Amino acid sequence: MPNDNFNRYCEELLAKYVRRNQQVVTRHLESLCTIIRSAGHVVQTMYGGSVQRGTYVTGLSDVDVLLIVNQSSLLNQSPAVVIQQVRRTIKERLPNNSVRAGNLAVTVSYASGIEIQVLPAIRTTSGGVRIAEPGSAGWSNVVHPENFARRLAEVNDANNGRVVQVIKLAKAMANCHVSRPSRKFSGYHLESLAINAFRNYQGSQDPKAMLKHFLTHSATAVKSPIADTTGQSGYVDEYLGPANSRLRNRASTYFSQMRANVNSCTTRAKFNALFCEGD
């Protein structure tokens, strides 16, 4: 397939993602925030959420809403109590939806496949936030999700806005290629890989070239942990274990396979198969 055709199909697919997802996600977010506000809580869209960063693609659970409890009756409660109260509040208003309480957040699932995570947090005087501390009954150290959003914006701007587009394509391709839920990449991890891949990128800025560069970079980079700049955890990809672990080597194989699939894409049908799109 000529590169021009591949790139044109990518542009068409990106436009479809915007039409398909933007209105639905916005409607769900607004409805959910209204429910939480009606219970007397303060809601702020999380800087780290993929909708805020413009990288959301259906199929990956990376839509986040930050629930600020400073000015509510939940302020002096433990994270576990807050999470359970938020779950009950949402479930009362959305009885037909799956509403799950986890260690850090409440996850609300919709029939469209979208999942929105509500993270209770305390706003600090420094401008950061404290969220539930994994493995603890208390609140975390100060987290700065805006640090990550700023780094992504800088790299995206330096590449004429193309990095966010490549992230969307990479998320969709990875979600299609890796079928088992327990093996899927997190959206935050893929975005972190993209920041590193394109920090000093000097190549062509067409979709195919940038997608291949991302996959080539990631096949090697995924073997080593990536530090978390927000302060939320030590590494953004802790779920893959230490450097050169079995899980990391398997993830590297996935990226290499996806790159090979891009290289061997010769027809529109094969292109659609890359992203699990219908003919």
Tens of pLDDT, residues 158-184: 999 999 899 989 999 999 999 898 899
Residues of the chain falling short of pLDDT 70: 1, 19-22, 42-64, 70-73, 75, 134-135, 231-234, 279
Give the model's pLDDT for residue 20.
63
pLDDT tens by residue, 23-44: 777 788 888 888 888 877 766 6
Rounded CA separation 93/28 (Å)? 13
Question: What is the model's pLDDT at position 270?
Answer: 95
Per the CB < 8 A criterion, the answer to whether 148 and 133 are in contact is no
pLDDT, residue 76, reads 76
Domain boundaries, the chain: 3-14+146-274, 17-143
Supply the pLDDT for residue 42. Answer: 67
Q: Which fold has domain 17-143?
A: Beta Polymerase; domain 2 (3.30.460)
pLDDT of residue 49: 54
